[in-house]
A and B are shown apart, each in its own frame.
Chain A
Amino acid sequence: MEAFTTHTGRAVPLRRSNVDTDQIIPAHWLKKVTRDGFEDGLFEAWRKDPEFVLNRPERQGATVLIAGPDFGTGSSREHAVWALQNYGFKAVISSRFADIFHGNSLKNGLLTVVLDQKTVDALWELTEQDPTAEVTVDLVAREVRAEGVTASFELDENSRWRLLNGLDDISLTLQNEADIAAYEAKRPSFKPRTLQL
Chain B
Amino acid sequence: MGRTLAEKVWDDHVVRRAEGEPDLLYIDLHLLHEVTSPQAFDGLRKSGRGVRRLDLTIATEDHNTPTLDIDKPIADPVSRAQLETLRKNCADFGVRLHPLGDVEQGVVHVVGPQLGLTQPGMTVVCGDSHTSTHGAFGALAFGIGTSQVEHVLATQTLPMARPKTMAITVDGELPAGVTAKDLILAIIARIGTGGGQGYILEYRGSAIEKLSMEARMTICNMSIEAGARAGMIAPDETTFAYLKGRPHAPQGADWDAAVEYWRTLRTDDDAEFDAEVVIDAAELSPFVTWGTNPGQGAPLSASVPDPASYEDPSERLAAEKALEYMGLEAGQPLRSIEVDTVFVGSCTNGRIEDLRAAADVLRGRKVADGVRMLVVPGSARVGLQAVEEGLDVVFKEAGAEWRHAGCSMCLGMNPDQLKPGERAASTSNRNFEGRQGKGGRTHLVSPQVAAATAVLGRLASPADLTDVDTVTPAGV
Contact = CB atoms under 8 A, between A and B. Distances in A.
Interface in B284-302: 293, 295
Task: Pick the most buried of A18, A23, A28, A77: most chain B CB atoms within 10 A of its CB.
Answer: A18
Contacts of B144: 76, 100, 103
B413 A27 contact: yes
B62 to A, nearest CB: 13
A33 to B, nearest CB: 4
A13 interface: no
A45 B122 CA distance: 39
Interface string A162-178: 00000001101110100
Given A78-B146, A173-B151, A191-B28, A33 B22 contact: no
Given A98-B197, A99-B198, A179-B24, A33 B39 contact: yes
Nearest to A197: B55
A121 to B, nearest CB: 10
Interface residues of A, number: 61
B244 interface: no
Nearest to A172: B159
Q: How many of chain B's residues touch chain A, expressed as a range? A: 35 or more
Contact of B257 (A77, A157, A190): A190
A10 interface: no
A35 B227 CA distance: 26
Contacts of A81: 145
Question: Is chain A's binding surface mostly helix, strand, loop or mixed?
Answer: loop
A182 B150 CA distance: 22
B57 A194 contact: yes
A70 interface: yes
B317 interface: yes
Interface in A144-163: 156-158
A77 B79 CA distance: 16
26 contacts: A16-B321, A20-B432, A23-B432, A26-B434, A30-B63, A31-B76, A33-B42, A33-B81, A75-B430, A76-B128, A76-B144, A78-B39, A98-B227, A99-B228, A104-B148, A107-B145, A107-B147, A108-B147, A169-B147, A169-B159, A170-B150, A173-B155, A180-B15, A187-B26, A187-B28, A190-B257
